[in-house]
Amino acid sequence: MDLIFLSGWPVVVEQPIAWGDMDSYGHVNNVIYFRYFENARLEYFRRLGWPVSVRPAGVGPIVHSTQCRFRRPLEWPDRIAIGARVRDIGDDRFTLEHQLISDKWGALAAEGWSIIVTYDYVAGIKVPIPDDLRCRIVDLEGRPF
Amino acid sequence: MDLIFLSGWPVVVEQPIAWGDMDSYGHVNNVIYFRYFENARLEYFRRLGWPVSVRPAGVGPIVHSTQCRFRRPLEWPDRIAIGARVRDIGDDRFTLEHQLISDKWGALAAEGWSIIVTYDYVAGIKVPIPDDLRCRIVDLEGRPF
Amino acid sequence: MDLIFLSGWPVVVEQPIAWGDMDSYGHVNNVIYFRYFENARLEYFRRLGWPVSVRPAGVGPIVHSTQCRFRRPLEWPDRIAIGARVRDIGDDRFTLEHQLISDKWGALAAEGWSIIVTYDYVAGIKVPIPDDLRCRIVDLEGRPF
Amino acid sequence: MDLIFLSGWPVVVEQPIAWGDMDSYGHVNNVIYFRYFENARLEYFRRLGWPVSVRPAGVGPIVHSTQCRFRRPLEWPDRIAIGARVRDIGDDRFTLEHQLISDKWGALAAEGWSIIVTYDYVAGIKVPIPDDLRCRIVDLEGRPF
């Protein structure tokens, strides 16, 4: 599919829409868009080398909040591309932007963001972003923050 | 469960958490919170008398955007109560607030909102909120807007 | 709701159907019935004292196979009760039966079974059912096998 | 991925596993396998020219029963291929076989079947398989039944 919309984004994943993603309105259910965003977010984490298979034994990501703006209804069958990129980095958190492109529409179908906090899963507290993680984000994005 | 947190809210639904709502971190997955919000939202729509079983033949609700702020992790087994209430009403949209209370925590676990646009599903355009719908919202909320 | 259908079953859980459980046919999606079964199964495991929150460190349950016979379509809003009981016990496995009752239908909506194997998650092999687990099943069922 | 396992199957769909498909055991949840099967089944229906976007206005498919035999645990990240083919055809039903291949395992991860009944959604009764549907199945399978 044409990924001109997401050119320059460091992480883009593609997938088919599932028939079962649609609800009784005959469109992809609103909730599912967040699963689509999550798919790009976890690929982003994986490329940062973050432990994501099971609950982290050390510092891992925790989602503080997330938002989606629905722009176009999606229907099966279709293919989508979902992008993730870091918008800004704070002391103990960073913001991931998400865009979702529909192959059928050839256009943006949804956009949103997630605020990710660096969390010590053993101590149960949020912690400053580790320096090496910050460096890996800069590397992946290819630009300073 | 103790619903003191949601006292005064016009619509509150209760449900158990499902084991399968948890992801590989051993917590309820972020995406599922939006399903929980949806459960309260659809009950709100049902009480407004809106057609929600299948795609509406006339004016129905469409979600413009939605957000969730995660405050506490949820784990099975637990019971939750989810509230929905209208915060404000515009010309062709209104905002629903959501709060999610965990029985185990005895506290707020998440809060968020959804902007709902009144949409003519046949014409494929957004339309002003019908007067009778506005009246039913005022009735259900028990206060003017 | 009237649970005459499941009287005598050792484990019965109740829950509302979620609007989002329906697919674009306007009925609860077939896949979701297995989530409903799972809800009763995990309650069964919990009452056996089995570690179910995270991947077990010792012997835990693993699903070998499962089946569902769909008898009636489900639609939101409705409440359901799901029962689980052991049908038979083998050397390294046992069979759980499931029945799903709809409040709206006042009748059986689905039935099925799951074969559960006792699995050593550390060694990665199936193992004989531990004696104390077998005793707890007999206790919970209130009858010998 | 290597599809030698599904060579000769008339319908095969491919997709990535989603991180959120895993449950708190750190494996893809049992329920999700049925969603994977459904993805191949709906592609099969689509290729038969069956109306699948919304509830059919005439004769459509209804799932009578379905089963899954889990052979290997799946973990994100991975890619899977799911096959669907007709095993046999009766008067008012046919049986679809499913196989699910994991790219990471390079092997069969699950197999199962679904019995599909031809159902008149307006009259609310099962009906004999229409002749043209039977012909389209034979065409798609490339062999007589």
pLDDT tens digits, one per residue of D103-131: 999 999 999 999 999 999 888 899 999 99
Tally the residues of chain C: 145
Amino acid in the structure at residue C101: I
pLDDT tens digits, one per residue of C70-108: 999 999 999 999 999 999 999 999 999 999 999 999 999
ipTM of the complex: 0.95
The two structure tokens encoding residue B16: 């158990």
* Residue A4 belongs to some domain of the structure: no
pLDDT tops 70 at residue C2: no
Q: What is the average per-residue pLDDT within C141-145? A: 92
Q: Can you give the pLDDT at residue A2?
A: 65
Pick from C20, C39, C76: CB nearest B35? C20
Q: Which of B34, B12, B8, B11 is nearest to B21 (CA)?
A: B34
- Judging contacts by C-beta atoms under 8 Å, the chain C residues touching residue D54 are 24-26
Share of chain A above pLDDT 70, in %: 95
* Residue C9 belongs to some domain of the structure: no
Q: What is the mean pLDDT of chain C?
A: 93
- Judging contacts by C-beta atoms under 8 Å, the chain B residues touching residue A56 are 25
Residue to substitute from B29, B63, B105, B121, interface A, most A β-carbons within 10 A: B63
- Contact (CB, 8 A) for B61 and B119: yes
* Residue B1 belongs to some domain of the structure: no
pLDDT tops 80 at residue A54: no
* DSSP track, chain A: ---GGGTT-SEEEEEEPPGGGB-TTSSB-HHHHHHHHHHHHHHHHHHTT---SSS-SSEEEEEEEEEEEE-S---SS-EEEEEEEEEEE-SSEEEEEEEEEETTTTEEEEEEEEEEEEEETTTTEE-PPPHHHHHHHHHHHTS--
* DSSP track, B58-97: SEEEEEEEEEEEE-S---SS-EEEEEEEEEEE-SSEEEEE
Q: In chain D, how many domains are there? A: 1
Share of chain A above pLDDT 90, in %: 83
Strand residue runs (E) in chain D: 11-16, 59-70, 79-89, 93-102, 107-120, 125-126
Contact D66 C63 (CB under 8 A): no
- Judging contacts by C-beta atoms under 8 Å, the chain B residues touching residue C52 are 19
pLDDT tens digits, one per residue of A83-123: 999 999 999 999 999 999 999 999 999 999 999 999 998 88
- Judging contacts by C-beta atoms under 8 Å, the chain B residues touching residue C38 are 18-20
Q: How far is CA A79 from CA A15, A36, A132, D114, D134, in A?
A: 6, 12, 35, 26, 30
Residues 55-74 of B with CB under 8 A from D: 55
* Residue A2 belongs to some domain of the structure: no
> Touching check for D23 and chain B: CB below 8 Å?
yes
pLDDT values of chain B reduced to their tens digit, one per residue, 145 residues: 766 789 999 999 999 999 999 999 999 999 999 999 999 999 999 999 886 666 677 888 999 999 999 999 999 999 999 999 999 999 999 999 999 999 999 999 999 999 999 999 888 899 999 999 999 999 999 999 8
* Residue C112 belongs to some domain of the structure: yes
CATH number, domain of D110, equals: 3.10.129.10
* Residue B3 belongs to some domain of the structure: no
pTM of the predicted model, to two decimals?
A: 0.96
* Residue C1 belongs to some domain of the structure: no
pLDDT tops 80 at residue D55: no
pLDDT tops 70 at residue D53: no
Q: Which residues form the domain of B38?
A: 9-141
- Against chain D, the chains showing at least 3 CB pairs within 8 Å are A, B, C
Give every CB contact of residue D8 below 8 A, 6+ residues apart in sequence.
none
